[in-house]
Amino acid sequence: MIDIKLVRENPDLVKENIKKKFQDKKLVLVDEVIDLDKKNRAAITEVESLRAQRTKLSKQIGALMGQGKKEEAEAIRAESTAIGEKITALEGEQEILQSEIRTRMMTIPNIIDDSVPVGKDDSENVEVERFGEPIVPDFDIPYHIDIMESFNGIDLDSARRVAGNGFYYLMGDIARLHSAVLAYARDFMIGRGFTYCVPPFMIRSQVVEGVMSFAEMDAMMYKIEGEDLFLIGTSEHSMISKFIDQIIPEDNLPYTLTSYSPCFRKEKGAHGLEERGVYRIHQFEKQEMIVICKPEDSMAWYNKLWQNTVDLFRSMDIPVRTLECCSGDLADLKVKSCDVEAWSPRQKKYFEVGSCSTLGDAQARRLKIRVAGKDGKKYFAHTLNNTVVAPPRMLIAFLENNLQADGTVRIPKVLQPYMGGQTVLTPKKK
């Protein structure tokens, strides 16, 4: 959510930003907010004036009562009562106006960074840089489910009977590899100075509204029946919200946290072959990183965060690239975002394995995360998030890039301590 002062003082900038995001239907919201804001401020001014009148009348009533002029005092008291009723009515109007303003402000997208390329959707995202040489081996690479099944490592049929489509059982070496990657990612981020955390896996609606747009919420979140709780779609949401309604001493910043959690997502819509299996699923586990920092430090942290993911994947010999998200592909709260994509030798293309974003002060404004500056002034913090690693999707890239011609899978040196010293996985069946 942007600052209403920006809408009030520079509506053309806000409208231009909406156009860059190809959300022209929201242009009317800017004028509506300005109109509602004028009415709200007029109501505030009138209430303040009426309160001053009532205070003056109260003093007159006291003086008249002290002089024994009861009838005159009662007449002024009636006038004061009428003013009180008018104040109550105006305060009711204010509540409605403020609610209408907030509803619209929650829908107006955040101001994107000047460096963000303008484009309608993810087809217009821009490649920034490649890391590692993408290789296509001289042997056929099976579909990732077939690779897993060669190790007796996955059971989708049983999962469908138990929970339906979009779920899985990971077994044996593949399950161990899944956990090894998470454990390695945890220690990798601790080594980079981040504090490890296991957060709540459910959050209240107040928190959901603070960390994401309504459209995202509807597309992603599972609601707990009969309770004001949602299953998290990513631990970023509960991690950022750890600081809800807090005033943070400036000297305490930045907060750099890395978290483990399961994640639950609706993942609406039909998907093609390559997005079946364990690519697009309702339940998965993830290692995440978040930063709470001063506004002037957020871009520097943004670059550090995506680099962490690149370095993690390269340490496991997986080629990756970064892709700058265009304006139309940015969620409404985001200022700037890039995807980290891993190379798929099977598909001969890259696919998304992580996303890094800076949201400016949008989440902090919604959640009331403020910083107490050394000069005594308070301001909203900036928030950032990035995927460290999200298996089992990451396992697709891992298995394809480390598969050998004989069906074995090489274990990179960094993962070997987490796999009991194994250097290679041998399939159970051909």
pLDDT, tens digit (0-9, with 9 covering 90-100), for 9-21: 999 999 999 999 9
Residue 49 in tokens: 């004036």
Same domain, 80 and 150: no
Total length of the chain:
430
Cα–Cα distance, 357 to 346 (Å, whole number): 29
Same domain, 134 and 80: no
Cα–Cα distance, 404 to 141 (Å, whole number): 9
Does 430 map to a domain? no
Does 116 map to a domain? no
Cα–Cα distance, 404 to 409 (Å, whole number): 6
**Residue 347 half-sphere exposure toward CB, CA atoms < 13 A:** 16
Same domain, 181 and 256: yes
Contact 194, 258 (CB under 8 A): yes
Q: What tens digit of pLDDT does each residue of 160-181 get?
A: 999 998 899 999 999 999 999 9
Report which of residues 271 and 198 the model is more confident about. 198
Same domain, 86 and 185: no
Nearest to 233 by CA among 331, 111, 322: 331
**Torsion of Cα atoms, 294 then 299 then 302 then 308, to 10°:** -100
> Based on the structure, what is the number of domains in the chain?
2
Does 382 map to a domain? yes
Q: Is residue 249 reached through a cis peptide bond, with omega within 30 degrees of 0 on the bond before it?
A: no
Phi/psi of residue 164, nearest 5 degrees: 100, -175
Does 290 map to a domain? yes
Average pLDDT over the chain, rounded to an integer: 93
Same domain, 372 and 415: yes
CATH number of the domain encompassing residue 263: 3.30.930.10
Percentage of the chain exceeding pLDDT 90: 83
Does 111 map to a domain? no
Could you tell me the CA-to-CA distances from 345 to 154, 348, 399 in Å, in that order?
Answer: 21, 5, 10
**Does the structure show a pLDDT above 60 at 268?**
no
Q: What tens digit of pLDDT does each residue of 356-382 get?
A: 999 999 999 999 999 999 998 999 999
Q: What is the pLDDT of residue 267?
A: 74
Nearest to 61 by CA among 84, 87, 90: 84
> Which residues is 287 bridged to in the sheet?
260, 389
Cα–Cα distance, 424 to 92 (Å, whole number): 69
Phi/psi of residue 360, nearest 5 degrees: 60, -140
Nearest to 393 by CA among 357, 429, 340, 333: 340
Sheet holding 230-231, edge to edge: 202-203, 230-231, 222-223
Q: What tens digit of pLDDT does each residue of 177-189 get?
A: 999 999 999 999 9
Does 314 map to a domain? yes
* Rg of the chain in Å (alpha carbons): 28
Structural domain for 27, as ranges: 4-105
The residue type at 145? I
